[in-house]
Amino acid sequence: MPEVYSSSTPTSSPRARRSAAHPSASKKHVHPSASEAVEAVNHRHVDEYSETMRGEECATNSFAAFLPKPVFADFESLAPNEHIVLALRRHPITNVPWIVVAILLMLGPVVLQFVPFLPLFPARLQLLAILGWYLIVAGYVIESFLAWFFNINVITDERIIDIDFENLIYKRVSSAKIDNIEDVTSSTGGFIRSLLSFGNVLIQTAGEKNEFEFRDVPQPEKVIKVINEMILEEEREQQEGRVQ
């Protein structure tokens, strides 16, 4: 018989939710309400059933590409009893091409100084051209960074969520329940990918969007292992009648 506490702490606040998701991350003791106590019985913490996640520290670096049990992260459509298990971005090495292009573009005005016809332009137009050039480079850097930063794949203990932020005018968020996952495949090809251990994870589901691709994510084997553990836990929940 679970012990039931009375408390005025709101159960759906992000702080309470984070504390429930990552008990080790919070030093404060939060008295669970009756619903939280019932949830604790019905809903096990990821560390209890996932051997892979048990060995992972809670992520605290917002810029990391592999974010196990992120302390800071919160998702708009996260249900009250749903917790983020793993968040993934493309491996940081995938940013190298746009960083190189940006550095070369920044050197553009320096190179143009050696072009003989440039002094023919009035000084004020030369200045405007240089300002415009650097603004365009800044825009390119900002868009490339945001495209990497907000292109996130999230695995919660109930769903997988794919946030595609291709550019400033295109955003797509799709999700599928863990128990709808039918097949998970990882692929790591090429010298750099093998060396730095990153690749694609392809998840096939029975839902409306029947294919999720986590592109260039770090440690794809570990991601697959976590997803398989989540699927097993979902099956166990159904068998034990702990389905919410």
Partner 1 sequence: MRFDDLIDRFLLTLGNPEASVNLGWSLVGYLFVLGFFIYIAFALMVVRQVHLMTHTFKTGIDGGLKVAAYVHLVVAILVALFALFIV
| Residue numbers at the binding site for partner 1 (CB under 8 A) | 14, 62-63, 70-76, 121-122, 124-125, 127-129, 131-132, 135-136, 138-139, 142-143, 146, 149-150, 152, 154, 163, 165, 168-169, 171, 173
* 8-state DSSP, 111: H
- Supply the minimum distance, in Å, between the C-beta of residue 210 and partner 1: 23
Classify the C-alpha dihedral 36-38-40-42 as positive or negative: negative
Nearest CB to partner 1, comparing residues 68 and 70 = 70
Nearest CB to partner 1, comparing residues 32 and 70 = 70
Closest C-alpha among 172, 174, 203, 161 to residue 186: 203
* 8-state DSSP, 214: E
- Supply the minimum distance, in Å, between the C-beta of residue 81 and partner 1: 18
Nearest CB to partner 1, comparing residues 49 and 134 = 134
Nearest CB to partner 1, comparing residues 35 and 62 = 62
- Supply the minimum distance, in Å, between the C-beta of residue 47 and partner 1: 21
Closest C-alpha among 191, 183, 151 to residue 167: 151
Interstrand relation of 181-187 and 170-177 (parallel, antiparallel or unpaired): unpaired
- Supply the minimum distance, in Å, between the C-beta of residue 236 and partner 1: 29
CB atoms within 10 A of CB 184: 21
- Supply the minimum distance, in Å, between the C-beta of residue 78 and partner 1: 10
As a whole number of angstroms, the distance between CA 33 and CA 18 comes to: 15
Nearest CB to partner 1, comparing residues 34 and 146 = 146
Give the long-range contacts of residues 30-34, CB within 8 A, separation 24 or more.
Answer: 31/5, 31/6, 31/7, 32/5, 32/7, 33/5, 33/6, 33/7, 33/9, 34/4, 34/5, 34/6
Q: What angle do CA 93, 94, 98 make, to 5 degrees?
A: 110
Nearest CB to partner 1, comparing residues 49 and 165 = 165
- Supply the minimum distance, in Å, between the C-beta of residue 10 and partner 1: 18
